Structure 1
Amino acid sequence: MTRTAIQLYSLRELDESLSDLLARVGETEFDGVEFAGLDDANPADVADALDTAELGVAGAHVPFEELEANPADVVETYRKIGCHRLVVPYLDESHFDSEESAVETAHRLDDLAERVAEAGAELSYHNHDHEFVEIGDRTAFDAFIAESDLNVELDVGWVAARGCDPTSLLDCLSGRTPLVHLKDTADGVPVELGDGDVDMEACADTARSVGAEWLVYEHDSPDDPEASLLHGAERLTELNERP
């Protein structure tokens, strides 16, 4: 059964503690959350807040440098809150500006994934739009996934923003997308679900058909985070319950 979550980066403008944010999410139809750091919160307190809010953990975004420096410590910290899936949220354009750089990035992330796995967790990579730059007869993203065994947290909004088809990519990545970001974009700018150019129904249906365990809502810069949370929860639930 695919579950739904919100990437807590979407709520960063709310002036609330992490525990209070979790309580707020727990009042919605979301099944869980994806972390974007712990804001120096005590993992035991975060675990208690998750239990109280009856929320699961889809995963956590952790900067590449932090993970590479000491993957065992990072894995242990997130293990304390029941999180066993870590995601590199961003690597800049220089990692995907040529065939050589895309292949090198694939190898570095595969090596890191091995170290993360040895510590007891699983690693994924979350795309933006710059990975889809053309390098010869294919995109840098195509070169990257052809060279790597890494799982991908495909962000369908950023894929569409670059003019690519997210459903085709989901099919190509079948079995490698346990987490899928359902983001809507209009002319390359994140918007509320249903206000953009992305076929969210097709993306959700395809994500579930290729084995996604979590559909994760993210809005990079909502005008009203509280309203976005409620709308995202309602819409994602509808998408996930489609026959």
Structure 2
Amino acid sequence: MRTAIQLWTLRDLDTPQTDLFGAIADAGYDGVEFAGVDDPFETARGMDDAGLLAAGAHVGADELRADPDAIAEELSTLSVPYVVVPYLDSDHFADAAAVDETAAMLDDLALAMDRPLLYHNHDHEFVPVGTETAFDRLVSETTVGIELDAGWAHAAGRDPVALLADLDGRVPVVHLKDMTPDGEPTDLGDGVVDLPAVVEAARDAGTEWLVFEHDDPEDPLASMERGIEVMDRLLDDG
């Protein structure tokens, strides 16, 4: 598996995105996952100069619906392999009918794209709908892939290792995130998520990219350094 950082982790730094690429590469990451792009051509040049690859790009569902061709062109410039819907609010998972509508909407978005579409979970998708959870129903009703966020799944009370086993072949990208006992994101290795087991399960499930993300780091650069240190150790041990 290759390693990447979700650039949302570094959003509070007063540094142009392209100026961060050298530090990301020097830290040891193989790539980045985007959460917005200013200038795709300048960004592509910066990635090439740093020797970084694109793991994926988070793009909102409304943006994808509005102009899928423009999004596809931008992602092609950046050689992005996967487009990821990063969030849908709780209304999309309120009951079985809402989940079915959400699944159909994601399938429609996928048909309009020229590369695989993934959905990234938080914790609110794991609410019960009948005899199952909204997340499980979504997985069964849609054909899109899943970018499993192990930390948010754990915070919702689900075992990310078991989820990865169930999603075998549908999780090309996994967010490796650690959480406090209270369900808040923390630096890798400081929380309660069984990171070694998640990495092993991701490898078994055919995951291509392991992406570090911290939703609200106190020190983004220190979190970035800690993230790759932990991921490299886990990958070496596995």
In which range does the TM-score fall when normalised by the shorter chain?
Answer: over 0.9
CA contact (8 A) 1:99 1:140 kept: yes
What letter corresponds to residue 7 of structure 1 in structure 2?
Q
Question: How many angstroms does 1:111 deviate by?
Answer: 1.0
Query: 2:44 is matched with which residue?
Result: 47
Query: 1:10 is matched with which residue?
Result: 9
1:164 maps to which of 154, 158, 161 = 158
Query: 1:183 is matched with which residue?
Result: 177
CA deviation vs aligned residue, 1:181-236 (integer Å, no higher than 9, x gap): 00011111000111111100000110011100000000000010010010001111
1:86 maps to which of 77, 80, 83 = 83
What letter corresponds to residue 215 of structure 1 in structure 2?
L
Query: 1:73 is matched with which residue?
Result: 70
Q: Distance in 2 between matches of 1:97 and 1:149?
A: 20
Q: Distance in 2 between matches of 1:213 and 1:37?
A: 22
1:232 maps to which of 209, 227, 235 = 227
CA contact (8 A) 1:96 1:131 kept: yes
Q: Distance in 2 between matches of 1:19 and 1:218?
A: 18
Question: How many angstroms does 1:241 deviate by?
Answer: 2.1
What letter corresponds to residue 20 of structure 1 in structure 2?
D
Residue 195 in structure 1 maps to residue 190 in structure 2 = yes
Secondary structure of residue in 1 paired with 2:162 = helix
Q: Distance in 2 between matches of 1:242 and 1:115?
A: 40
Give TM-score scaled by structure 2 length: 0.98
Q: Distance in 2 between matches of 1:162 and 1:82?
A: 33
1:83-122 paired onto structure 2 within 5 Å: 83-116=80-113, 120-122=114-116
Q: Distance in 1 between matches of 2:207 and 2:69?
A: 26
CA deviation vs aligned residue, 1:91-125 (integer Å, no higher than 9, x gap): 00000010111111011101110111xxx221100
Aligned-pair identity in percent equals 49
Give TM-score scaled by structure 1 length: 0.96
Residue 241 in structure 1 maps to residue 236 in structure 2 = yes
Gaps of 5+ in 2: none
Question: How many angstroms does 1:84 deviate by?
Answer: 2.7
CA contact (8 A) 2:161 2:198 kept: yes
Secondary structure of residue in 2 paired with 1:95 = helix
Secondary structure of residue in 1 paired with 2:107 = helix
Secondary structure of residue in 2 paired with 1:15 = coil
Residue 132 in structure 1 maps to residue 122 in structure 2 = no
CA contact (8 A) 1:181 1:215 kept: yes
CA contact (8 A) 1:4 1:240 kept: no
What letter corresponds to residue 2 of structure 2 in structure 1?
R
Secondary structure of residue in 1 paired with 2:118 = strand
CA contact (8 A) 2:179 2:193 kept: yes
Query: 2:141 is matched with which residue?
Result: 147
